[in-house]
A and B are shown apart, each in its own frame.
Chain A
Amino acid sequence: MQKSASNENISKKIIKTITGNPIVFLLIIAAIVVGFIKDNFFSWANLSNLISNTAVRFLIALGVSGCLITKGTDLSAGRQVGFAAVIAGILCQRGDYNGRLWKFVPEMNIFLVFAIVIAMGLIWGLINGLIVTKLHVPPFIATLGTQTIIYGISLVISDAQPIGGFQRLYTTLINGRIGSTRGFHLPYLFFVAVIFGVVFWFIYNKMRHGKYMYAIGGNEVAAEVSGVNTTRTLIRIYATAGIMYAIAGYLLAAKSGGASASMGQGYELEAIAGCTIGGVSTTGGIGTVPGILVGVLVFELLKIILQFLGVNPYYNYVVQGLVIVLAVSLDIRKYIAKK
């Protein structure tokens, strides 16, 4: 008797998980179907591709998640990625490369470049945070403004030209992998994503900063009255986001073997979509790191499915847009029903 009761409970839980995350389950089913009708879908190469694409997007989504959980947003994410890619690209060019953009700087250590790029991301994030908290500009408008500024600066710096001729170490390290080339292998980016996932999980669940972030999302006035320094917490959230975009940009330039100002265009929407599909609520105070990972993964899966089905790539935008609207409307429904 008891056993069947607990079985019933488990099956109830499974049904609840599926109905609670319809998009996730629909896409997993779609992936399985596509896997059976298309060769090569279930291949190590495809898996590796999915993992490295997801890894970079996951870092961006982690960055923007803090803004979303506190009822804000960060539309400058994509352009910050592009900016970081441009800076990283320029500074990581080989000393003997003819097309070097900044001939006045010597060839740089790529780890030093990493530090420089992070510092710049931090500055952009601080600027966003200060505009939101000190000038009281709504995050949507504030970051809409800064993303345009950042794009302009990226164009000026790169002279609107593609940047190539990277140091070997830069591209080989970032594109490195463990395991055999043909069989099972894992890109290094996988480990980068895991490390940041763990760090963010720890911050969100085990540190005051994370608790303050959820508190602000749950009720900003109550948080302030409870002694949370909301200004400082919000600035930290936007600054952390800036650092994450910078890291993503640095990795992305090496991953693609080239950089340009338009790199990362639209990534803010993918990141926001990933978060929303993964259960970060636009009404604030809700969102988990595992959820964000699932959301980003599923969104990348969607892109690969469309690619395998041979859908005209222009339609990708249409489908992705629909998924975003669907995800948010399903999220909002949970709260409307309860009122």
Chain B
Amino acid sequence: MSEYVLEMIDVSKPFPGVKALDHAQLKLRPGRVHALMGENGAGKSTLMKCMFGIYKMDQGQIRIDGQPVTVSDPMDALHKGIAMVHQELQPIPARTVGENIFLGRYPMKKLLGFIPVIDHKKMYEDTAGLLKKVRMHFDPRQKVGELSVSQMQSVEIAKAVSANCRVLILDEPTSSLTANEVDALFRIIEDLKAENVAIVYISHKMDEILRISDDVTIMRDGCYIGTWEAKELTTDKIITQMVGRELTNLYPKRMNVPGEVVFEVKNFTSINPRSFRNVSFELRKGEILGVGGLVGAQRTELMEGLFGIRSHTTGQIFYKGKELRIARPKDAIDQGIAMLTEDRRGSGIMGVLSVADNISISSLSKYLDYGFAINGAKVEKLVQDNVEKMNIKTPSSKTQIKSLSGGNQQKVLVGRWLANDPDVLILDELTRGIDVGAKYEIYCIIEELAREGKSIIMISSEMSELIGMSDRIMVMCDGRVTGFIDGQQATQENIMALATQFE
């Protein structure tokens, strides 16, 4: 009998362009909470998806009770006693708690001895038992949509428990919970520990990790860094292990000089109480302001709020001393603000439309003859100027944008915004999914824009990009701004310390 209930050994998994996992490992002992830590993109989720059978690993082994096994898909994982509660809960709101828990594996009975029907009575009795086990007291027949987020999470955990799991993966389980709800969750975890379940706990919150976990495994850039007993560790030690990476010269030399303050945000607060709140910052002419933070820090939400995509309750935006009223993106654009959104496919490109249509859509008013007829030659010139300036690789201006590579699509979108000649550019995860060569080209474009006097806000989850490109870095945690760091003094450690400053 092995000491470990489940081991993942020497796991590698390449994605196009990067090695998402590079000889990673994880060894779980029964009855213990094992924290899995690392920066955004360190490979935690990828490793868990390999364990749960969502991804196929290229190399490596999974052993259960010392015996090598293969996990072919999530159903197979459940049969082998592995259950996972995802960060993004996906319940069916209009159905009951019981139906959500037993979805796809309803208890059946035979009506009149031969008609298979769902045994509702048994399903709801079993559900009641499971809810009791996770210390929840609500009606199994209640609709899941009526529950709070933490209750929904308990339903997910109950679902995992119902599979009689031996390994339970909790991915960022507390990201949307209040302090009391976290305590309730921890009581459930203690119960499960007592039943010898091994728990993988993924979180960025240091205090929680140190409070609940027994073992800690740290990953960086897809590699296994090490495993420690939680009691040997401190917050500082964990951060050092998570970030410690050499910076290479991947960034252009910055010659831009920040000038006077042009853009100011005061007390900006979302209508959603769990999102951004009391955010104030200023932005200078010709400045690149980096925005750092962990996934879920509400950076995107904040910027989309400023741009009129999301609503806010209180707060003011000043531009050159004048207060702006922004209800929808068009208002922001009319004031000279541009925003490159995070989700390139979802809210950036219009896939079936041509490169020319995509690049000109937000500046069409500039190419009109007689005030109404679009001058095709002017649009074509815009495309050609951008193709030359940014080295966009496209067969022609009539090519559908979806057939271009990610980097070229991104350049087209940058071109779309530059066509409006904005003074403030908000760039959300500008280089995500773009290969290294194209990244450098895009950095050079950004640096040049700052030199021309444009003000740039750059959200990035890549530490090195933040440090390499920013004049100043604003760090957010859990919807609040936790501090500003001068670009010269920024290190991965001091950014991480601010990014994990939970209340």
Contacts and interface: CB of A to CB of B under 8 A. Distances in A.
Query: Do these two chains interact?
Result: yes
Nearest to B339: A225
Point out which of A205, A208, A283, A284 has the most chain B C-beta atoms below 10 A from its C-beta: A208
B329 A285 contact: no
A286 B347 contact: no
Contacts of B350: 214-215, 218-219, 222-223, 285
A215 B347 CA distance: 11
A310 interface: no
A181 interface: no
B104 interface: no
Contact of A227 (B330, B346, B351, B357): B330
Contacts of A202: 373
B92 interface: no
A161 interface: no
B373 A227 contact: no
B157 interface: no
B347 A285 contact: no
Contacts of A208: 364-365, 368, 372, 374
Contact of A222 (B307, B328, B334, B347): B347
The contact size tier of chain B is: 20 to 34
Given A206-B373, A211-B361, A215-B361, A229 B352 contact: no
Nearest to A283: B352
Interface string A15-39: 0000000000000000000000000
A227 B333 contact: yes
A214 B330 contact: no
Contacts of B348: 219, 222, 225
A215 B328 contact: no
A222 B361 CA distance: 10
B372 A214 contact: no
Interface in B313-352: 328-330, 333-334, 339, 341, 346-352
The contact size tier of chain A is: 20 to 34
B346 A221 contact: yes
Contacts of B32: none
Interface string A141-169: 00000000000000000000000000000
Interface string A204-240: 0111100110110111011111111100000000000
B353 interface: yes
Contacts, number: 81
B29 interface: no
Contacts of A214: 350, 353, 357
Contacts of B256: none
A298 B329 CA distance: 43
A227 B329 contact: yes
A219 B346 CA distance: 8
B329 A224 contact: yes
B374 A221 contact: no
Nearest to B373: A206
Interface in A252-302: 281, 283-286
A217 B373 CA distance: 21
B374 A219 contact: no
A284 B365 CA distance: 24
Contacts of B374: 205-208, 211
Contacts of B361: 211-212, 215, 223, 226-228
Contact of A219 (B333, B351, B362, B372): B351
A284 B361 CA distance: 17
A284 B353 CA distance: 10
Interface in B341-390: 341, 346-353, 357, 360-362, 364-365, 368, 372-374, 376
Given A208-B364, A225-B309, A218 B333 contact: no
B351 A218 contact: yes
B416 interface: yes
B398 to A, nearest CB: 12
Interface in B35-75: none
A201 to B, nearest CB: 12
10 contacts: A206-B373, A206-B376, A208-B365, A208-B368, A208-B372, A211-B360, A215-B353, A219-B348, A225-B329, A229-B330
Interface of B: 307, 309, 328-330, 333-334, 339, 341, 346-353, 357, 360-362, 364-365, 368, 372-374, 376, 416
Given A207-B374, A225-B329, A284-B352, 15 more contacts: A206-B374, A208-B364, A211-B364, A211-B374, A218-B357, A219-B347, A223-B350, A224-B328, A225-B341, A226-B329, A227-B362, A228-B330, A228-B362, A283-B352, A285-B353
Closest 7 CB pairs of A and B: A218-B350, A227-B333, A226-B362, A219-B350, A285-B352, A221-B347, A218-B353
